[in-house]
Amino acid sequence: MFKDLDPILHSQLRLAVMSLLIGVKEAEFTFIKEKTGSTAGNLSVQISKLKDAGYVDVLKQFKDNYPQTICKITPQGVTAFETYVKALQTYLPK
C-alpha cells in the first residue's frame, strides 16, 4: 500500500536541504547554498518553511563581524525524514 508523502519534504530544494542536514550536526547557510546550487533568496524561503514546520533550527549570529546563519535538523525533522524515506520505499518496485 502506498503511503502519503510529507508535502513539506516532497519538494526538490527542501528535500535537498534536509538530506544535507541529516548527515551533519550543523551547517552554515553558505554551505547549504554551495552544495544545493540554489540561490540565496529561494534557499532562504525554503529554510523558513522547514523552520515553520519544526524540522530545522536556525541560529543567526555574528562570526568575525559578518552575519552567519547556522541550520540544524531537529529531532522532529529527523523523524519526519525517516518517515518520508520509509514512505518512499513503498513506491519502489519489489
Contacting positions for another protein (CB under 8 A): 5, 10-16, 19-20, 22-28, 30-31, 34-38, 42, 46, 64, 85, 88, 91-92
The one-letter amino acid code at 62 reads: F
> Exposure string (b/e) for 12-34, b if CB count within 10 Å is 16 or more?
ebbbbbbebbeeeeebebeebbe
Nearest approach, Cβ of 54 to another protein (angstroms)? 20
Nearest approach, Cβ of 49 to another protein (angstroms)? 10
- 24 or 76, CB closer to another protein? 24
Nearest approach, Cβ of 84 to another protein (angstroms)? 8
Query: HSE of 74 in the Cβ direction (CA atoms, 13 Å)?
Result: 14
